[in-house]
Amino acid sequence: MAVGDVVARRLFFAFDIDEPCREALTRLVDELAERLDPLGSGSKGRVKWVERENFHLTVSFLGSIPESRLTEIRSVLEPRFGSRTFELRFDRLGAFPDRGAPRVIWVGASAGAAPAEIAQREREHRLESIGVPLEGRPFRAHLTVGRFREPSRASQGRAIRDFAMAPIGPLLVDHITLYESHLSNRGPSYDALMRMTLGSTVTP
């Protein structure tokens, strides 16, 4: 996209999802769709479910960044991070907002959330050093799996929170990926621009 005469890129950071976790998340989405949206399918459902190839755990959004800054951003993020690699386990199902009628359905990680936040803070400090503005909201280790297309009911929020999901994982996280987001009538698509390698391995 372009802002005035400046070419800008829609960027965000994410932890990637491996194939076993992707499979388990796909099964979970199928179960949720059967319970929350039994009469809907595809574009006709009241919930827009995230497609399996688009599963990722968003770390933070940069928004529209001038293309001229990409080289500088890459250079400050390329050195190996001091933050250690870690494991995430997805074990919670929830919705935004936290109360009332839900708009977004998410899967959260309790185990591994603390080291995930440490890696996120290191990334923020590197970007702060070159004057890149931060998102300004607290990090929550969660992965979006669905968005309501139309107004929902508070009872659907309770059904989401009461759903007994089987834990998914562990997911070994050894890097953070910088993505560019492209929007179209067919939905979003993402291109990986670079990977930031985390440091030491998880201790047994």
Q: What is the pLDDT of residues 103-137, one digit of tens each?
A: 999 999 988 999 999 999 999 999 999 998 777 77
Give yes or no for residue 201 having a pLDDT over 60: no
Which amino acid is residue 74, in one-letter code? R
Q: What is the CATH number of domain 2-197?
A: 3.90.1140.10
Residue-range domain boundaries for the chain: 2-197
Q: Could you give the CA distance from residue 19 to residue 192 in angstroms, rounded to a whole number?
A: 17
pTM of the shown model? 0.87
Q: Pick the more confident residue, 68 or 19.
A: 19
Q: What is the mean pLDDT of residues 44-50?
A: 82
pLDDT score of 200:
67
Taking only the tens place, the pLDDT of each residue in 104-113 is 999 999 889 9
Q: Which residues contact 100 (CB under 8 A, 6 or more apart)?
A: 154, 157
Pairing of strands 168-173, 175-182: unpaired
Over residues 168-183, the pLDDT tens digits come to 999 999 999 999 998 8
Instruction: Tell me what pLDDT residue 202 has.
Output: 47
Q: Are 160 and 105 in contact (CB under 8 A)?
A: yes
